[in-house]
Amino acid sequence: MRVLIVEDDLIATEAITRSLSEHHYAVDTAADGAMGWDCVESTTYDLILIDVGLPKLDGITLCQRIRDRGCGTPILLMTAKDDSTYRIRGLDSGADDYLAKPFDLAELQARVRALLRRGTVAASPVLTIGKLRLDPRSCQVTYAEKLLPLTPKEYSLLELFLRHPTRVFSCGDIIEHLWTFDDPPQEESVKSHIKGLRQKLKAGGVVDWIENVYGLGYRLREGIETRSEQSTQPYDNQLAQLWEQYRGLMEERFAVLQQAVDTYPLSIELREAAESAAHKLVGVLGMFDRDEGTQIARQLEKQFEAQAELPEEEARSLVRRLGDILNLSAPVELGESSLNPPSVICRTESASGDFESDALHNGRDPKLSLRSWTVLAVDDDPIILATLKQLLEPWGMCLAGIDNPLQFWTVLSAINPDLLILDVEMPHMNGAALCQAIRANPTWQSLPIVFLTAHQDSATVQQIFAAGADDYVVKPIVGQELLSRLTQRLERLRLLQTLSTKDSITGLTNQLYSSQAIKAQFCNYQTTCLAILYIPTLRQINIQQGHTIGNKILKQTGQCLQSSFCNGETLGYWRNGEFMIASSQTTKEKFQEQLSDIVAMLQGQSFDTPNLIYRYAVVNYPTDGLTLQSLYQAASLCLEGSIHE
């Protein structure tokens, strides 16, 4: 388990770190609230320990900011002020527990174990599956009462699997939870630890419990098999329930086909309805292990699409066989809704009318700290959406689904998904056309898009890739293939997010992401001060003294800004010596005074360069401009005037 300690007392930090490390926790530390916030933004933790009296950003404010971010990681506050007022403020800010200093390290360990137990497989301190027992208090693992000698990393791996038995962990997930910033391993090292754990489990009598899921990662096989003990039904049972839940809709689709083969000649409306019904059956029957039904439905779809009449007896024979596969014991009456199936939207809507992801309402414990990816699926077949939900959520993907593409843009903005699944053929809008519109929107250009389609012809494949798709999966969906493809996309997204948000030299947010954050401030606050801090001589310094000196100046400038601003300001580096600062918590005059002090501090540092010059200009939203571009132009004009003075 990975733990973050935010504490400015070096002695306390060392003591807590040593105590937790002895119990095989991977520990990161931060010496102030601003550093702690940076850690939380960049890394997923299983537990966060925060001192209340922190410099730059106090512990209670940090706790509130973490909760405002939507992070449900358990938080333990620590303070030397044993006052009920502080305890109440701390708990109201979103903390899960509170510990007054000085405290006993054994009590700290007990509270840590209690917080980590929330939402995990076991309610008791000891994690148990079958004859396998892991005791976090003694850090001992036994099988059939026989002690298993595990290394610290092997122990941590097993604990991770036991606490989350329904999850598959990629190498990236494992690294994120079990290693600190100081010692990130390569994937080969993770595989080596997995191999060592398997060998020791096997030697102790635990055979083949850790399964390698091809293309995805690793899971605890025994944990998956005993999920019913945690009130989580196996996937096969869930599919059986879905079959019964949507049996009526299946019967309606079958009834359309039944009417079509009994009606000659076919009307245009009935032919199109029959083609649509056959197409939808192609997409879902294979997921319920009715592959023969898929083939029959595909044959019927092609016939209706080509408008070529099958011999009556042959067509009726196919439909009768399909009815046997659907287990329909009697003819089904065609209802009014058969030609226009009911709209079922797998999402929730709050009382205020705002859309919320199903991820918030799927019964998951909000305290679970594992990263959950949000996936939005757009498919007009509610059976597909329901099956995707059952398939993806046990693997850490929270699914929100809509069956009406006309509502797509509203839901997209509301839930901000990490990945999008699109159907090719939908009413009102073609999936490829929707994909093109997404790619044309600057906000969503980089959103990973995976298509589902029942068509396997090259024309369809070329169409969806030309529209901007990242990948496609053929219906009926094969769970293993879909999971593998989605996981690969999300792992790549994780890497790109890490690399793309910050400037590598200054450590500040880059132009793209800082621009988005500044625009958000304009929307959320009535007034915002925007400043450009500029080094007009940077190019000259790079030419005369080299980029090493220039980069050193940029790095120290970034560090100085980070230490000087810690009250929710947006900091960004826009290249070519331009730093952007946006603050909604101060006046223009006070902001200018603060920047004047910062410039004096920077120019007083020893950079060994006599021609280092800083200039700054401050403008105000909305007084000096209503857009980021207009404000930037106003500040640039002020800078030009100060440079020529």
Helix then strand then coil, % of the chain, to nearest 5: 50, 15, 35
Q: What is the pLDDT of residues 603-632, one digit of tens each?
A: 877 667 778 999 999 999 999 999 999 999
pLDDT of res. 523: 86
Non-local (6+) Cβ contacts of 363 within 8 A are none
Banded model confidence at residue 332, pLDDT cuts 50, 70, 90 = very low
What integer pLDDT is reported at residue 644 of this predicted model?
Answer: 52
Q: What pLDDT is stored for residue 270 in this prediction?
A: 84
Cα 152 to Cα 155: distance, rounded to the nearest angstrom: 5
How far apart are the C-alpha atoms of 532 and 617, rounded to whole Å?
5
In three state form, how does the secondary structure of 352-406 look?
Answer: CCCEECHHHCCCCCCCCCCCCEEEEEECCCHHHHHHHHHHHHHHCEEEEEECCHH
What per-residue confidence (pLDDT) applies to 272? 82
Which segment of 228-242, 243-257, 399-413, 591-605 scores lowest on mean pLDDT? 228-242
Give the model's pLDDT for residue 347. 38
pLDDT band at 557 (very low <50, low <70, confident <90, very high): very high
Could you tell me the pLDDT band of residue 422, with boundaries at 50, 70 and 90? Answer: very high
Helix (H) or strand (E) holding 640: helix 628-644
Q: Which of 219-233, 328-342, 397-411, 553-567 has the lowest mean pLDDT?
A: 328-342
pLDDT tens digits for range 59-112: 888 988 888 776 778 889 887 765 566 667 767 677 888 888 777 888 888 888
Element (H, E) at 419: strand 419-423
User: Which DSSP letter does residue 328 get?
Assistant: -
The C-alpha angle 124, 126, 132, rounded to 5 degrees, equals 130
pLDDT at 236: 56
**Are 219 and 157 contacting, i.e. CB atoms less than 8 angstroms apart?**
no
- The pLDDT assigned to 531 comes to 94
Percent of the residues in the chain that have a pLDDT greater than 90, as a whole number: 14
pLDDT tens digits for range 2-16: 889 999 888 888 888
Beta strands in 469-614 (DSSP E): 471-474, 528-534, 570-573, 578-583
pLDDT of amino acid 624: 92
Report the range out of 32-36, 473-477, 593-597 with the highest average pLDDT.
Answer: 593-597
What letter represents residue 477's amino acid? Answer: I
Give the sheet arrangement for strand 373-378, strand by strand: 397-402, 373-378, 419-423, 449-453, 471-474
Residue type, 320: R
Decide if pLDDT at 372 tops 70. Answer: no
Which pair of tokens denotes residue 319?
Answer: 């439909």
The pLDDT tens digits for 475-518 are: 777 766 677 778 767 766 765 665 567 787 888 888 888 898 89
Q: Which residues pair with 356 in a beta bridge?
A: 348
- Distances, alpha carbon 438 to alpha carbons 256, 385, 434, 445, 472, in Å: 34, 21, 6, 6, 16
Tell me what pLDDT residue 593 has: 93
Count of residues for the chain?
Answer: 645
**What does the pLDDT look like over 120-145, one tens digit per residue?**
433 346 778 878 888 877 778 888 88
Q: Tell me what the pLDDT averaged over the chain comes to.
A: 78
**Tell me, what's the pLDDT at 118?**
58
Residue 267 confidence (pLDDT): 80
pLDDT at res. 218: 82
- Residue 502 DSSP class: B
| Separation in Å, CA 557 to CA 30, 511, 554 | 20, 16, 5
β partners of residue 218: 169, 212
Percent of the chain exceeding pLDDT 70 equals 79
Cβ count near 618 (within 10 Å) = 24
Q: In what order do the strands lie in the sheet with 578-583?
A: 570-573, 578-583, 528-534, 615-621
Checking if the pLDDT of 385 tops 80, the result is yes
What is the phi/psi pair of residue 305, to 5°?
A: -65, -40
Q: Supply the pLDDT for residue 215.
A: 60
In angstroms, rounded to a whole number, what is the distance separating the alpha carbons of residues 74 and 62? Answer: 13
Selected residue with higher pLDDT from 178 and 534: 534
Tell me if residue 14 falls in helix, strand or coil.
Answer: helix
In our burial notation (b when 16+ CB lie closer than 10 A, e otherwise), range 488-508 reads bbbbebbeeeeeeebbebbbb
Judge contact between 162 and 121, C-beta under 8 A: yes
In 426-478, which residue ranges form alpha helices assigned H by DSSP? 431-440, 458-467
